Amino acid sequence: MGLALHRRREEGRAPVTEPGRRFDVRVGSATDGLAPVSFAERSLAAGPMQWVALAAIALAAVAADQLTKHIVASQLQLDEGVHVLGPFWIHHVRNSGIAFGFFSQATAVVIVLTALAVAWMLLFFARSGARHPILPVALGLVIGGSTSNLLDRVRLGYVTDFLDFRWWPAFNLADSFIVIGVLVLLAALVLAEREPRRSRPVRDATARPS
């Protein structure tokens, strides 16, 4: 009788469950422990140092271009020139188009396209400014040159050109900065494609030192 009552009490109890297992998720491994991360991903967004470098290069380009244009416009009459050496002349001309005199009859279109190009370059730099150390220099020259010519077109309706080699349309420092920046950017991209990509492995945090 007592044995039967004891069995009933045991059957009436809630089943004893094993305490819940805690899964330890560690850096460098997946939650199932079967797919360790072989390399660390870094952000390519531009950081404070990249933005400072870009701003310094762009502002220096704008200042140099505006200063030389002011000197030429104040010292030479329109269409007046001074021979320097060989085919090189300092020739004061005005250009309402883009670099090297192209699209001179579409000033409004040039202003809009230039503004869109500068905005796109800033967006690209914000997302990929840390991709290559030369990006702040290359894009800084392109943005600075484009911005300086854009300011003149909005303010005056034209830009001042004065570097004249006779066999090529006259241009200014801003045009030179744009071309140099694009060439530097292309060279950096070509060299980056030729270099073998190496991934730096990260030791799994769950591994024990030998």
pLDDT digits (tens, 9 = 90+) for 1-27: 555 555 555 555 555 555 555 544 444
Does 90 reside within a domain?
A: yes
Helix axes 135-156, 48-75, angle to 10 degrees: 40
Alpha carbon distance 10, 135 (integer Å): 76
Residue in the block written with tokens 């002011």: 70
Sign of torsion, CA 51 57 60 61? negative
Does 137 reside within a domain?
A: yes
Does 178 reside within a domain?
A: yes
Average pLDDT over residues 182-188: 90
Does 25 reside within a domain?
A: no
Does 104 reside within a domain?
A: yes
Q: Count the domains in the chain.
A: 1
pLDDT at 44: 84
- Residue 95: give the domain boundaries: 48-194
Does 31 reside within a domain?
A: no
Alpha carbon distance 210, 208 (integer Å): 6
The pTM for the full model equals 0.69
pLDDT at 45: 85
Residues marked active site are found at 161, 175
